[in-house]
Structure 1
Amino acid sequence: MVFANAGTLGTVPGKRDALVAHLTRRSDLLLENGCLMYEVGTNDEEPDTVFVIELWESAAAHQASLALPEVRASIDEARPLLSGEFGGFRFEVAGSPLRD
């Protein structure tokens, strides 16, 4: 069953665009490890927040990706841009009117 992870990442003031650039760098590794979609966005009403929506083949695929050395290195590289404020939710996708 498809797994969804939607969240917010608080950034250090003025570092939002740097985090967006970091998160949107091309990564075939994610695709190869079960990521179906990874979308990054912003909202001018929340200038120090980045929004991320991920779809994965499964919760296990998402969890396994977090152990990949390249993903760990990317997380470590992003840490100085983050304020430590995080939000969001996770769920198993039940279906969609856009696909069978």
Structure 2
Amino acid sequence: MYGLIGKMLTEPGQRDVVIDILLRGTEAMPGCRSYIVARDPSNENAIWITEAWDSAEQHRASLALPSVQQAIAQARPHITGFGERFETEPVGGHGI
């Protein structure tokens, strides 16, 4: 399995817009066992995304899906950057 935890930074006041876009555009992704979008409680412009996939290849392939491409295009104008990024190897848990 492949895991990814990443921080996304948004323009002031646009975090919920980006969250909405991410949740709508990432519903059907083959191989995705868990996709969690969360607000950072200490930074009003930050979002944390936690993902668990069957494989790194399936994660990479998801970036070419039309729905994901559309979400990226819609969110891009509101994204100011990215923070920490961690790759993990999930071994189990709920929702996996």
Is TM > 0.5 for Structure 1 vs Structure 2? Answer: yes
> Aligned-pair RMSD on alpha carbons?
1.8
Matched, 1:75 2:49: no
What is the CA distance between 1:85 and its match in structure 2?
2.9
- Equivalence for 2:54: 57
- TM-score normalised by structure 2 residue count: 0.85
Q: Which amino acid aligns with 1:34?
A: G
Equivalent pairs, count: 94
**In structure 2, C-alpha distance between the alignment counterparts of 1:29 and 1:61, rounded to whole Å:** 12
Worse-superposed segment, 81-90 or 46-55: 81-90
Deviating above 6 A after TM superposition, structure 1's stretches of 4 or more consecutive aligned residues are none
Q: Which amino acid aligns with 1:73?
A: Q
User: Structure 1, unaligned stretches of length 5 or more?
Assistant: none
Distance 1:90 1:76 in 2: 24
CA-to-aligned-CA distance 1:44-69 (integer Å, 9 cap, x gap) = 31111001100011000001111122
Matched, 1:45 2:16: no
TM-score (norm 1): 0.82
Tell me whether 18-27 or 73-82 shows the greater mean CA deviation: 18-27
Identical-pair percentage = 33
Residue 29 of structure 1, CA deviation: 2.0
